[in-house]
Amino acid sequence: MERLHVQTPGKSYDVVLEEGLRHRLSDYIESTYSKILIITDENVAELYLEDVRKALGKRGHVYEAVIPAGEASKSFRRYEELLDHCVEAKLDRNSLILALGGGMVGDLAGFVAASYLRGIAFIQVPTSILAHDSSVGGKVAINHSKGKNLIGAFHHPEKVLYDTETTDSLPEKEKRSGYGEVVKHALLSDEGWFREVMNRTIKDLDTEEVKKDLIQGIRLKARIVGKDEKERGIRKHLNLGHTLGHAIESELHYGSITHGEAVVIGTLFALRLSNLDEPFALLMEWAKDNGYPLGIMEELEERNLVDRMKVDKKAQNDQIHYCLLSEIGSPFVTEVEEEELLQSLQQFKSEVIQ
């Protein structure tokens, strides 16, 4: 069992990582909550809801809400539907929402918890690699048709309870997505870890490798969030690869490409803008070898992508702010001119599509 700690001005909480933790959830959840609403998606429900149900079995007042899987569920409609669930179950200010699933479930359930009765407690129970990023740090949100995560809140979980066994059963596409955030964290951290990650093969990942990467990623995130809870300064570094990544996802209506896959393309582009040629070539090769869908760039118009970037949350005065690297482990944020972006995107497309 591994226990990491997140300490921010607003809240402090533990992230517990353990194999098979889902069977022992009850040990980690205080018995003082009046009611518990489990929010999960159809895929995760099929795999783990029964285990969680059993683990919480002795508690009274456990409710469940199962939503369709996929990023498209991070919508107004599902948000409203889940709030209806809260009202019907008569959750009160001492109730708990348990977000069982990947990043989509955590973001959506977290925003429900943030806004129901002006905020009730929630616990993240991540079941994907990708969620090692989203479950820590208190950012919760839903998507607007014009942009990802445009509506949301800062609302920290009471705890993050991570059953590392659940990441084994992920389909390859989801592992690929999860490693998008791992690559990002490695590039923000240090050269050694980045090169280690470039030696991983997505379809042959073993549990120990994954656990190690998760812990390193969460440590980095906890350190950054501890210093800048509300993203006024260094937390912006965590957006490495996300400016273009979000634009791609939203151009494709959050469907045909996963978040982490989009982030890898975005990170590649950030390395290109940073003029880091060797890491760029290395990541490009790794991404191709591991099946990241770089070819999707062919379908996307540079002009549309840049317009999407302008409604990004990081944009200011219609100027696009970009996280770049002076070298691996040394991120900085800078304004990039629209014209430069358009040209670089054009060149980038021709490089990745080959």
Q: Which amino acid is at 95?
A: S
Question: Of 95 and 189, which has the nearer Cβ to its own copies?
Answer: 95
Six token digits for residue 217:
């990623």
Among 30, 46, 92, 172, binds its own copies (CB under 8 A): 92
By CB under 8 A, how many residues form the interface with its own copies? 36
β-strand 159-163 against 320-327: which pairing, if any? unpaired
Among 80, 299, 301, 337, binds its own copies (CB under 8 A): 80
Per CB under 8 A, which of residues 150..169 are in contact with its own copies?
150-154
Per CB under 8 A, which of residues 261..290 are in contact with its own copies?
none
**CA-based Rg of the chain, rounded to a whole angstrom?**
20
Q: Does 119 bind its own copies (CB under 8 A)?
A: yes
139 labeled part of a ligand binding site = yes
Six token digits for residue 127:
């079941």
253 labeled part of a ligand binding site = no
Tell me how far, at minimum, the Cβ of 110 lies from its own copies, in Å: 11
CB 164 within 8 A of CB 248: no
Six token digits for residue 303:
């002009």
β-strand 96-101 against 36-41: which pairing, if any? parallel
155 labeled part of a ligand binding site = no
Six token digits for residue 41:
């998606």
Q: How many CB atoms lie within 10 A of CB 199?
A: 8
Q: Does 217 bind its own copies (CB under 8 A)?
A: no
Q: How far apart are CA 157 and CA 136, in angstroms?
A: 8
How many residues are given for the chain? 354
Among 7, 12, 34, 343, binds its own copies (CB under 8 A): 34
Q: Does 117 bind its own copies (CB under 8 A)?
A: yes
237 labeled part of a ligand binding site = no
Q: Note the residues at the interface with its own copies (CB under 8 A).
A: 34, 76, 80, 83-84, 87, 90, 92-94, 111, 114-119, 139, 141, 144, 146-147, 149-154, 310-311, 313-318
